[in-house]
């Protein structure tokens, strides 16, 4: 059965099969800055700064619509405020490769004692051991953001997709971590990256991000 993440990945026009890599379950580290927001949808960040790891940072912004969905997919109330970085835990799910792509779910879980919402796209950036960003800023895949209500312990995921470097011929680097920024937040979460080399320059080196959906993407 094709997973929800695989359905998102099918939007890209690639032909060959990719390899599999796992990811680390290492606990994320909260950082004072943020990863670059995804670009390419005409939405600009509301400011920029530098994080202490040395990477360029900016606020992650996500567009919203009038609908409100709970983390289980049912219609819910719109009274909860958005989830803040300090209330969330980040992780990267298992790769679901296919059609020349590597596809990873970026998962945010509500670790607070209150219900909050996520709406839009995450920010994301690969970094090396010194905190320097590797590769260009991710772009946003077409999607329809919907407000997801997360009760304590519930999760939402956004798809991270990039071309398999062995297929595209792009130059690669092996990140030490990935920074994940919740929508409309400036602080990011750092998760150890164990997903193998990623494309950083050359042909088909741009990563793409999808809007958040309820669940873990598994």
Using CA atoms, how far apart are residues 60 and 38, in angstroms rounded to an integer? 8
Over residues 165-176, the mean pLDDT reads 88
Summary mean pLDDT of the chain? 74
Using CA atoms, how far apart are residues 104 and 143, in angstroms rounded to an integer? 17
**pLDDT band for position 87 (cuts 50, 70, 90):** very high
**pLDDT band for position 130 (cuts 50, 70, 90):** very high
Over residues 60-67, the mean pLDDT reads 44
pLDDT score of 167 = 83
pLDDT score of 165 = 80
Using CA atoms, how far apart are residues 78 and 117, in angstroms rounded to an integer? 9
- Contact call for residues 180 and 123 (beta carbons, < 8 A): yes
Using CA atoms, how far apart are residues 218 and 207, in angstroms rounded to an integer? 20
Over residues 66-83, the mean pLDDT reads 49
With pLDDT > 70 as the criterion, what percentage of the chain qualifies?
Answer: 64
Which pTM does this prediction carry?
A: 0.69
pLDDT score of 62 = 57
With pLDDT > 90 as the criterion, what percentage of the chain qualifies?
Answer: 50
**pLDDT band for position 212 (cuts 50, 70, 90):** very high
pLDDT score of 79 = 58
């Amino acid at each position: 059965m094709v997973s929800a993440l695989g359905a998102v990945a099918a939007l890209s026009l690639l032909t060959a099969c990719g390899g599999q890599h796992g990811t680390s379950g290492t606990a994320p580290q909260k950082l004072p800055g943020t990863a670059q927001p995804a670009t390419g949808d005409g939405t600009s960040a509301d400011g920029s700064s530098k994080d202490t790891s040395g990477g360029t940072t900016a606020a992650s912004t996500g567009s919203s619509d009038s609908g409100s969905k709970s983390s289980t997919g049912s219609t819910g109330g719109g009274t909860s405020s958005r989830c803040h970085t300090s209330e969330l835990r980040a992780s990267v799910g298992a790769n679901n490769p296919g059609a020349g792509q590597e596809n990873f779910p970026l998962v945010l879980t509500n670790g607070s004692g209150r219900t909050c919402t996520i709406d839009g796209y995450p920010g994301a950036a690969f970094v090396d051991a010194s905190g320097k960003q590797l590769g260009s800023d991710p772009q946003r895949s077409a999607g329809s953001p919907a407000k997801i209500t997360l009760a304590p312990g519930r999760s939402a995921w956004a798809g991270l997709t990039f071309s398999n470097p062995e297929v595209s011929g792009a130059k690669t680097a092996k990140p030490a971590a990935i920074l994940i920024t919740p929508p409309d937040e400036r602080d990011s979460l750092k998760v150890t990256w164990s997903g193998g080399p990623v494309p950083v320059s050359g042909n088909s080196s741009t990563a793409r991000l999808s809007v958040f959906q309820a669940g873990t993407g598994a």
